[in-house]
Amino acid sequence: MKAESTKSEQNVKREKIEWCDMRWFNADDNSLPRVLLIGDSIVVGYSTKVQEQLDGTANVARLATSKCICDKALIKELDYAFWDYKYEVVHFNNGLHGWSFTEEDYADSFPVFFDHLKQLAKDAALIWGSSTPLRYRDNREQLDAERNPRVLARNRIAQQFLSEHNVIINDLYGLMVEHPELCTDGAHFNSDGYTIMANAVCKHILSQCQ
């Protein structure tokens, strides 16, 4: 079934730099279950740590991208991530990009994105990780008064939708909002911060691995 086009997809405004980072750890090993981490640059930060923690239990893959769920290009990237692999668990999020799209656009696009993901994932367990806080680059004790409320709004949209579809919620926002000292530039985290997130991600993944 082809993903439906949304109104927001007809007016995609690209960021100055668009990027996509796909990686399959232990791609030649089919003896262990494989899990897929979907997200933005935050998932780049914790994915290697997740693989290290799950070594011998599961092999990790990641799809990290600047594409917002309102961008149909993300659907194509999803298709490729699932092209040659089957996953037992998919941990997904992508809410810190696509600021040219409104929260109404986000709400309109989320069901389309989720339905396509669910079709690709088949019987995989689905875990959604909330988007992490945004702070001021030069004053990381303070949340960004303009952008962070939008993060919270997108998190609410996703959580409300997913609560009706029995998807497990991993509250990474709640986890990291208490740690401004681990934020490096307003959006990203140091090694200790990514370790905290990796611990939470692994805990949820292990609860679903058979």
Residues of the chain with pLDDT under 50: 1, 8-9
Domains in the chain (CATH in brackets) are: 17-206 (3.40.50.1110)
What is the DSSP secondary-structure string of 161-198? HHHTTT-EEE-HHHHHTT-GGGBSSSS-B-HHHHHHHH
Q: Report the predicted TM-score, pTM, of the whole model to 2 decimal places.
A: 0.93
pLDDT tens for 77-133 read 999 999 999 999 999 998 899 999 999 999 999 999 999 999 999 999 999 999 999
Distance CA 48, CA 60 (A): 8
- Closest to 79 measured CA to CA, from 3, 162, 168, 161: 3
